[in-house]
Amino acid sequence: MGQENRIPYIGQNEYGVATLYVKGEPFLMLGGELHNSASSSADFMEREVWPYVRPLGLNTVILPVAWETIEPREGCFDFTLVEQLLTQARREQVKLVLLWFGLWKNGESFYVPSWVKEDDRRFFRSCYPGGLPSDTVSSLCREAVEADRRAFVRLMQFLKEYDGEEQTVVLVQVENEIGFLKSERDFSPEAERRYGEAIPEAVGARYERSGSWQEAFGEDAPEYFMAWQYGCAVEQIASAGKAVYPLPMYVNAWLEQHPDRPGVYPSGGPVAKLIPLWQLAAPSLDLIAPDIYLPDFRGVCESYAVSGNPLFIPEARRDPVTASNAFYAFGGLNALGFSPFAVEDFLRDDLEEPEVGLLAALNIDMSGFNPTGTGVYFQRSVEVLSGLLPLIAKRRGSKEMTGFICGSPLERGCILPMDGFDLQLDYVFDGRQRPGSAGIVFAEKNGFYISGCNVRFQVLPKKGSGSHVTVVRLETGAFADGCWQPERVLNGDELREMSLGSMAETKHVRVCVSRP
């Protein structure tokens, strides 16, 4: 197979930064994830999804493929819907990230086929204390994991045969927000037996501990036990799929949040503190990704950009701040991709308010799930970033690109050191529902480009240099395929317009440094 047709893979660029390559070229996913059930019908996608996603200008769409859809009867597989989804994506000229909704989705087992749901002896459930069964198939149920593995392998075989040349699908998520809800661990008979056993040698060596899970990890033992069981189950599924068609694969995380007790968030899921254990249990995974609805976007991202873990954000907040966070994800964190959730809602006129009761039950902050007003801001950010992607791809990991973000109302700004001068950034924040202060700075000889939202900027001489910095030229414009297209030259009083507004934009500044 020639380099141009090589299977998508994650490698490193010249600066040592993890990069997704598609047909031999770096590919940054400027994406959007769909509602969980949107892709269960090709007709629904035609009527209610593509007309609202198309105007956003995304290059990637993230959508689920449910086990119950492809194997409605055990051993009988039907990939008609998957084929239709691929055909639609090709027509729309977008790449796909497939979410495998197999045994586990958001800590429960609702997307398994009916023949799995109806047989709770063969496919036994995780239990709460006292033996009360849950709606979650146990990660210790070998027959269930094997059935999931077989179905996933068939899906990967189909993708290899139908999409190996076209490469519409560039990444696959294995399961969704894994873990056990409403209890710190599984109390099924099999789990009780395994919990009392000695921890695996690999875990003991990694953490320099020994004994049973309780003896080794104390109060954290239930969560670590669950993480190992889920990770090992995912490894069986992912490794088998990769043996057939080795697309990059990952798991995503429902984040640890207040109150920080396993079971409030799915216990054993790949939260940040468990990344090393997950990497040990499931080495076939290429990365572990956070689903970010919390306000501390920068902090969450930094907690996942560790231990050699490439950063990918498959689900992000739906409020207007997502339009600015996208800039920092690519420019400040070298993310492989950025994707807010349920993007098909963003440009709808008949948008319904999210259900407060449901969000409360899922421990999701209302502000992060309300897309009111987001559409126009995010659409503009996608437009600006689309032109920047070739430039970003070329400079990821270099000193010629940096990002900035206001993490809280208490942050007033920052100063970025440039070649021969400094760049002062003042964050603009007034509490209204709109994008935050965030962006990307591209250093150039004698100047810079700045892209993003809600920031004022000015050039300063280096401290103690005695030099003077003159703004030679200030331009508005846009990048098209990585090339700068100037629009206006601002001068005189308009030099005071050294700022970016709520709608994402890019400006170019040339400076002259006079030295004493």
The answer to whether residue 440 is domain-embedded is yes
Q: Residue 352 above 80 pLDDT?
A: no
Q: What is the pLDDT of residue 203?
A: 98
Among 366, 395, 424, residue at a domain's last position: 395
In a shared domain, residues 152 and 244: yes
Local confidence band at 362 (pLDDT 50, 70, 90 cut-offs): low
Task: Enumerate the H helices of 6-66 as residue ranges.
Answer: 42-44, 50-53
| Amino acid (1-letter code) at residue 383 | E
Nearest CA to 341 among 254, 257, 464?
A: 254
The answer to whether residue 382 is domain-embedded is yes
Q: What is the pLDDT of residue 266?
A: 97
Local confidence band at 172 (pLDDT 50, 70, 90 cut-offs): very high
Q: Residue 3 above 70 pLDDT?
A: no
Q: What is the pLDDT of residue 515?
A: 84
Give the model confidence (pLDDT) of 405-414 as tens digits. Answer: 999 888 999 9
C-alpha–C-alpha distance, residues 95 and 168, integer Å: 5
| pLDDT-wise least confident of 3-17, 96-110, 193-207, 352-366 | 352-366
In a shared domain, residues 248 and 105: yes
Task: Enumerate the H helices of 183-266 as residue ranges.
Answer: 189-195, 201-207, 213-217, 221-244
In a shared domain, residues 159 and 97: yes
In a shared domain, residues 69 and 170: yes
In a shared domain, residues 369 and 410: no
Give the model confidence (pLDDT) of 35-89 as tens digits. Answer: 999 999 999 999 999 999 999 999 999 999 999 999 999 999 999 999 999 999 9
Among 374, 395, 416, residue at a domain's last position: 395
In a shared domain, residues 379 and 418: no
The answer to whether residue 280 is domain-embedded is yes
The answer to whether residue 21 is domain-embedded is no
135's tokens: 């709606």
Local confidence band at 493 (pLDDT 50, 70, 90 cut-offs): confident
Local confidence band at 482 (pLDDT 50, 70, 90 cut-offs): confident
C-alpha–C-alpha distance, residues 327 and 309, integer Å: 20
φ/ψ of 145, rounded to 5, equals -60, -40
Give the model confidence (pLDDT) of 415-432 as tens digits. Answer: 999 999 999 999 998 767
Q: pTM of whole model > 0.85? A: yes
Q: What is the pLDDT of residue 509?
A: 97
In a shared domain, residues 284 and 364: yes
C-alpha–C-alpha distance, residues 425 and 86, integer Å: 44
Local confidence band at 2 (pLDDT 50, 70, 90 cut-offs): very low
Q: What is the pLDDT of residue 223?
A: 98
In a shared domain, residues 376 and 432: no
Question: Any bridge partners for residue 478, and if so which?
Answer: 485
Between 433 and 489, residue with greater pLDDT:
489
In a shared domain, residues 318 and 261: yes
Give the model confidence (pLDDT) of 370-402 as tens digits. Answer: 888 999 999 999 999 999 999 999 999 999 999
Local confidence band at 95 (pLDDT 50, 70, 90 cut-offs): very high
Q: Which domain holds residue 334?
A: 29-110+144-178+221-395
C-alpha–C-alpha distance, residues 151 and 247, integer Å: 16
Q: The CATH number of the domain where 33 resides is what?
A: 3.20.20.80
Domain count for the chain: 2
Q: Residue 6 above 90 pLDDT?
A: no
C-alpha–C-alpha distance, residues 380 and 362, integer Å: 31
Burial of 200: CB neighbours in 10 Å, binned 0-12, 13-18, 19+: middle
C-alpha–C-alpha distance, residues 314 and 377, integer Å: 19
Q: The CATH number of the domain where 473 resides is what?
A: 2.60.220.20
φ/ψ of 80, rounded to 5, equals -60, -45
In a shared domain, residues 362 and 409: no
The answer to whether residue 449 is domain-embedded is yes
Report the share of the chain in percent with pLDDT over 70. Answer: 96
491's tokens: 């001068």
- Which SS3 state, helix, strand or coil, does residue 369 take? helix
The answer to whether residue 424 is domain-embedded is yes
Strands (E), 264-340: 287-292, 315-316, 337-338
Q: Are 177 and 252 in contact (CB under 8 A)?
A: yes
Local confidence band at 259 (pLDDT 50, 70, 90 cut-offs): confident
| pLDDT-wise least confident of 17-26, 93-102, 148-157, 251-260 | 251-260
The answer to whether residue 188 is domain-embedded is no
Q: What is the pLDDT of residue 1?
A: 41
The answer to whether residue 277 is domain-embedded is yes
Q: Residue 358 above 50 pLDDT?
A: yes
Among 340, 369, 395, residue at a domain's last position: 395
In a shared domain, residues 414 and 367: no
Q: What is the pLDDT of residue 354?
A: 67
Instruction: Give pairs for 66-69: CB < 8 Å, separation 24+.
Output: 66/40, 66/101, 66/111, 67/100, 67/101, 67/102, 67/103, 67/111, 67/112, 67/113, 67/116, 67/148, 67/151, 68/111, 68/112, 68/113, 68/114, 69/40
Nearest CA to 56 among 329, 339, 253, 284?
A: 339
In a shared domain, residues 237 and 103: yes
| pLDDT-wise least confident of 187-191, 362-366, 378-382, 497-501 | 362-366
